[in-house]
Amino acid sequence: MIVIPEPLLKAIQAKRCLLFIGAGFSKNAQMPNGLTMPSWKELAIELSKDLREKSDEPLIAASNYAKEFDKNELIRKLSELLHVDIAKPGKVHDKLTTIIAFDTIVTTNFEFLLENAFSNKKPTHVIVGDEHIGKYSPSTHTNIIKIHGDFTHYNDIVITQEDYDNFLDEHPVLSTNLAAWFSTKIPLFVGYSLNDPHFQQLRHILQKQLGDFMNKGYIVLFDADEKTINEYEDDHLIVINLKTKDTTREKALLEFLCQIQDYVSVKDTDYSTLFVKDTLQGDVGDVDNDNFYNIHTGKVINAFSKFEWVLRDALRNYGVDDTEIKRSFSYLVKTAAQNGILDPHKVGELTRIRDTRNKIVHSKYIPTTTEVNYITKLIADIQKHISEIKQPHEQTTIRLFTNKTTYDEKTPIIITGNVSPRLSNVSISLMIMDPKKQIVAIFQEDVDTAGNFKVELMPGGPLWIHSGNYEILANYGNTKNKQRKKITFVKKNIPKTVSYEVQLDDGSYDVEYTINGGDLKNIQPDYNANSLIFNLSAFSEGELFITLPRTLIDAKKDSQDDEFFVLANREEVSFDERIFDDYRILSIEFPENTYQLEIIGTRVGGKTTPSSNIIKPLKGSGVPNDEGKYLDPQTLIIKKGQKVIFSNTDTAVHTFTAGTPDGGPSGEFDTNVLLPGNSFEYTPHKVGVIHYFCMVHPWKEGKIIVKD
């Protein structure tokens, strides 16, 4: 059985996988008269038959052939050896065309099997060389990127050592776009091996262009041993090892592609329409493997699907909004447990059953008879439990009490209460929320026969970071049956006020601050953005309380005080502020794992960066640096409706693409490949923060702050 890693399947479904097709894929071509496609090793041997200086290394043999004859003769010979005129797409090529999630396919093959397979089936763009890159359109076409040329574009064929050495210089647009695709997508290599010269050159280009920014990828191999797998892992590649003991390579590869196709399309499948025949209710008995698969897996899928519908109906009856009912199964189970519809102890088992269902659908996993019986019985018992629950009465009364009204970290909170009337088999849900409406504790408690319940907890810990009014929210049965009670929590372990000396070009400034949930490492100015950058190490949600002298940083608009912009990990966050004549005090909440806060004003120290609407790449921004400075300005602050000009003043190509390297393009704007000397205009019409990056050099990120 093939096991395809879930992260790869998710990347394919989200169209975040970049498929690389090598020579091994072409060995599945349909050939006449018993002919087969040669491997690279076999190509080297055939080429060497005509040479004085022979070699079984493909690159050396090709280079020697071009020297002894000429490159045109080499290309003619390769065309003959690769059976270009008679080879036709095989079954694996046809199967590949059915997987719509592959919108970009990169190949190093010279023949035409891929484009022939896609012809008359899907709109396709074949891109060969730098001049064709403008045709790239993943939203409307399947794009076949032939990075080493083909037999109709002799000038772009990469086959000799000289071709490999000159590739980066002669194909700058193609190689940089390749690096951009590789940095924003998960690579999947099919038809390659470590000694494949094309594969080696690909890795060399990407390593040179991206270095540590390379994504970890996947590679499909056949019958690989542990040593080989380890070699690929050392090269940052996860091996998908296809076994051929009882099958052929073609069938194994077909099964691999079928599983991908199943996963990509499974989200749109209505499982309630599958496997509903009467035979599902009988015993398995002595059956062949196909019937065994249908009966066993059918029982699990059918039971799970019916249960999902029962659960959705139960939630609807208990007053859960339809928009919530349409959410994922994991969310449904959690919501049902919180409302007392499900026993919280069953949540883990239902999650395991969901995972089993997914394995069946995605990888044709066949459960054992014992497993099938256990799953179907457990689901039947849960459905019976749900059906026996008395539907909540909207007039149910909840009484809520606490042992005190004010607490600190050393005072336990005891919550007691009563419900009337009591509902059969329904638990009460209790949540405690802090002054910012963040949940700090949640409970699911049984109600005794008299309708009473009790919960005891000790406040404190990483979530209890604010002093102030907390709220206890009780919910019983129908979501409309709620009761609230306020308590006060006083956090006595308040951090001490610390002073930090900020160094600017015109002198030093003392800043006083306190911080919860993390440590402040340093404060640095960014004159281009008129901002201060606070580098943090946050171990939980927290809050920075800071006093900023106006001589250090300020925000003015027409001589009047203007608002600061505050970013946490480059995303805008809200904050509270008190304004005085000589200083401004900010209280900034930040999420867990925050590594940077940035306060943006209109002046830092004695410097005010002139307002400009032009963004340019800095010289050398095509190579990562320790400072992380690649743009002028890195942060642009403009008014809504003001034009932004992206100007490529560098000697290399760049893109300015709205979005982030992790999340990909957002669609807000995209310059596409911007050649040296060219520019692009964009006018934002919404207030907020717009992130953008370079598809060619993904470490190059900037942001535009749009103000009223």
CATH number, residue 421: 2.60.40.1930
Same domain, 26 and 42: no
User: What's the structural domain count of the chain?
Assistant: 6
Co-location of 107 and 254 in the same domain: yes
| Confidence at residue 562, expressed as pLDDT on a 0 to 100 scale | 84
Same domain, residue pair 246 and 343: no
Residues 168, 214 share a domain:
yes
Q: Give the list of residues 6+ apart from residue 674 with CB closer than 8 angstroms, or none.
A: 646, 648, 653, 654, 655, 656, 680
Domain of 587: which CATH number? Answer: 2.60.40
- The answer to whether 387 touches 425, Cβ cutoff 8 Å, is no
pLDDT of res. 240: 93
122 part of a folded domain: yes
Dihedral over alpha carbons 9, 15, 16, 18 (to 10 degrees): 90
Q: Supply the range of the domain harboring residue 470.
A: 397-489
Q: What is the pLDDT at residue 272?
A: 35
3 state SS of 678: coil
* Domain termination site, one of 231, 262, 293: 262
Looking at residue 452, its pLDDT comes to 94
Claim to verify: residue 23 and residue 151 sit in the same structural domain? yes
Q: At what angle do helices 58-68 and 71-81 cross, to 10 degrees?
A: 130
Asked whether residue 379 is assigned to any structural domain, the reply reads yes
CA 281-284-287 angle, 5° bins = 130
The pLDDT, as a whole number, for residue 275 is: 33
Residues 351 and 222 in one domain: no
The answer to whether residue 267 is domain-embedded is no
Task: Kindly report whether the global pTM for this prediction surpasses the value 0.85.
Answer: no
- Examine the domain organization and report whether 14 and 110 are in the same domain: yes
Answer whether residue 609 is part of any domain. no
pLDDT at 692 (0 to 100): 92
Averages of pLDDT over runs of 10 residues in the chain (708 residues) are: 78 88 90 83 89 86 90 88 88 87 89 87 83 76 88 82 80 75 82 76 66 74 90 84 87 86 57 33 41 64 76 76 68 73 72 74 70 83 76 72 90 92 80 83 85 90 79 78 88 76 90 88 87 88 89 86 86 82 88 89 81 84 75 84 91 87 82 87 87 86 84
Question: What's the longest Cα–Cα distance across the chain?
Answer: 99
Q: Say whether both 405 and 384 belong to one domain.
A: no
Residue 640: CATH number of its domain: 2.60.40.420
Which two structure tokens, joined as six digits, stand for 269? 């499948």
Query: Does residue 325 belong to any structural domain of this protein?
Result: yes
- Considering the domain architecture, whether residues 15 and 96 belong to the same structural domain is answered as yes
Residues 384, 308 contacting (CB under 8 angstroms): no
Query: Does residue 1 lie in a domain region?
Result: no
Is there a domain that residue 290 lies in? yes
Tokens 């800095």, residue located: 618
Q: Which residues contact 566 (CB under 8 A, 6 or more apart)?
A: 572, 573, 574, 575, 586, 588, 597, 598, 599, 600
* 231 in a structural domain: yes
The enclosing domain of 142 has a CATH number of 3.40.50.1220
DSSP letters along 104-126, please?
A: EEEE---SSHHHHHHTTTS-EEE
Q: Is 212 exposed, middle or buried (0-12, 13-18, 19+ CB in 10 A)?
A: exposed
Domain boundary pick from 604, 633, 652: 604
- Residue 289 and residue 415 in one domain: no
How far is C-alpha 177 from the geometric centre of its chain's CA atoms?
A: 20
Helix (H) or strand (E) holding 233: helix 226-234
Of 356, 388, 420, the residue at which a domain comes to its end is 388
Q: What is the pLDDT of residue 599?
A: 94
Do both 521 and 570 map to the same domain? yes
pLDDT of amino acid 124: 87
CA distances from 66 to 201, 475, 557 (A): 19, 80, 69
Residues 438 and 466 occupy one common structural domain = yes
Q: What CATH number corresponds to the domain at position 343?
A: 1.20.120
